[in-house]
Amino acid sequence: MVKSFSEKFTMAIYLATHAFIATSLASQTVLPPLEDSYGFTPTGSLNMLTEATFTTLHHPAFPSHRVRVKKSDFCDGGVASYTGYIDIEARHLFFYFFESRNNPDTDDMIFWTNGGPACSSSMGLFMELGPCRVYNAENGTVYHPESWNSNANIFFVDQPIGAGFSYADYGESVSTTEEAAKDVAAFIAIFFAHFSKFQGRGLHLAGESYAGRLLPVFAAAIYDQNQYIVQAGIAPINLTSLMIGNGMTEAPPIVKGWYEMQCSSASIPPVQTIQTCVTMKRKLPRCMRWLKESCQDVFDSINCSAAMGFCMDAFIAPYVALGRNQYDISQTCADSNGLCYSITDEIVKYLNRPDIQKALGVDPSQSHFDSCAWDVIAAFGGLQGDVMHGSTAYISNLLERGIRVLVYAGNYDFACNWIGNEYSTTTLEWIGQKEFVAQPLREWLVAGKRAGLMRAAGPLTFATIDGAGHMAPYDKPKESLEMVRRWLAGQEL
């Protein structure tokens, strides 16, 4: 029997709707059915770990995840150090862990990740805020007095797959932040389940650059997972705050800042010629409008990519032609690996030493270390357009739930400049927006001297660090550590 047009139309709509729902359900994050946790035995204490072998941690609530961890005596940092892998079936994320120099039995926890989105957190560890630094590969590590583990226990994680010593057995990878967040949330739950002395501690997610996109999504995954792990007999994770340094949380405000950093006195006097600035100024409205229409209002991967290409050609190309450091507008670039600091070359050499890799427990198949995995960075920036999705909606939701957020920025950074980061905080839609915007920027002090500017209201704080670039803890270690100490203590900067 021939169906009428209306019947065919109704059936087509039904089939299309059914297919859409099925596809949507398949793509959602679904935690595995809870297994009986009877018989689960926590490891109990870090003192039970040895340097000779890895101890494997697991929990029945996360059947696809394992955590391998060992003592690793490699860092002249004044505390015990640990390394290991987060195993997600055939994928393996490498991490470091250091206990607090102050009181590891009571101090809060910090989870640090670098940006990229596939640059090793070893850069943060050995260059910026870890308990030891590497200035010369052959001489090894040097004690770092301004480490952020002065008052906190701290993780450094190479993520996503492909970053640093992280790897996959069969070439698996992730190309979106939402995918990467699942593994981080599972790791935190398993680690805390085994080492009960850390349960209930404040957990602060920290990082810089692309971490501005990553951390809010990671935080949401950890927060939302709490209901599930409680049912599995694991104590809820006390997610307390985010600390985002020179973040690429959303691209358009940063792009606008690219113009202002070159053509105004936002940090140092203008570095471009007047003619170049006039040309860039004329292109700015088209750039911002195109980004809004193709990347924010409606995400169109092809048009969004074209828009970003136009904007980068308009504002990045003239800056590159100057030969200046993209991470510090006051300096020139000074290394061979694209990160503009000679110390990063030494860190790469150090981590390629066979004796160091043996001490860390690096898998022998992963003996070549690079500071960044450019193929993974390309995957995140390809058709997925991960960076262009932004994470401001996640931050808004976290603020509404009382999670504190610190956005800080070195005022010399060009790549993820303070102009864009400030704009992102003032335009952020949440219940305290009006109160936050009404606050004037005011000085914050360290040892009686100005360290930067800040604005705060409720759980949100924005701060600049004078004289610091993209890697603020490297440029201004004392000011950065004091900022973190006050933040962990719940004090205003």
* Residue 111 CA from chain centroid, whole number: 9
Euclidean distance between CA atoms 160 and 284, whole angstroms: 33
Residue 413 designated active-site = yes
Residue 209 designated active-site = yes
Neighbouring CB atoms inside 10 A of 367's CB total: 11
Q: Based on the number of CB atoms within 10 Å of its own CB, is 352 exposed (0-12), middle (13-18) or buried (19 or more)?
A: middle
Cα–Cα–Cα angle for 173, 175, 181, rounded to 5 degrees: 90
DSSP SS3 for 376: helix
Residue 470 designated active-site = yes
25 CB-near residues (< 8 Å, 6+ apart): none
Backbone angles phi, psi at 182, to 5 degrees: -60, -45
Determine which one of 209, 267, 424, 480 is catalytic.
Answer: 209
**Which of 358, 359, 364, 335 minimizes the C-alpha distance to 347?**
335
Backbone angles phi, psi at 489, to 5 degrees: -80, -5
Q: Cis omega (within 30 of 0) on the bond before 117?
A: yes
Q: Based on the number of CB atoms within 10 Å of its own CB, is 337 exposed (0-12), middle (13-18) or buried (19 or more)?
A: middle
Residue type, 276: T
Euclidean distance between CA atoms 134 and 141, whole angstroms: 5
CA contacts within 13 A on the Cβ side of 331: 18
Residue type, 283: K
91 CB-near residues (< 8 Å, 6+ apart): 161, 166, 167, 168, 169, 172, 183
Q: Which residue in this structure is represented by tokens 């905080």?
A: 425
Residue type, 294: S
Determine which one of 386, 413, 466, 475 is catalytic.
Answer: 413
Determine which one of 122, 386, 470, 475 is catalytic.
Answer: 470
151 CB-near residues (< 8 Å, 6+ apart): 100, 101, 102, 107, 108, 484, 485, 488
Dihedral of CA 108/241/118/316: which sign? Answer: negative
Give yes or no for a contact between 209 and 115, defined as CB atoms under 8 angstroms apart: yes
Q: Which residue in this structure is represented by tokens 């059936």?
A: 11
Pairing status of strand 108-113 against strand 238-247: unpaired
* Element spanning 225, H or E: helix 211-231
Residues marked as catalytic: 209, 413, 470
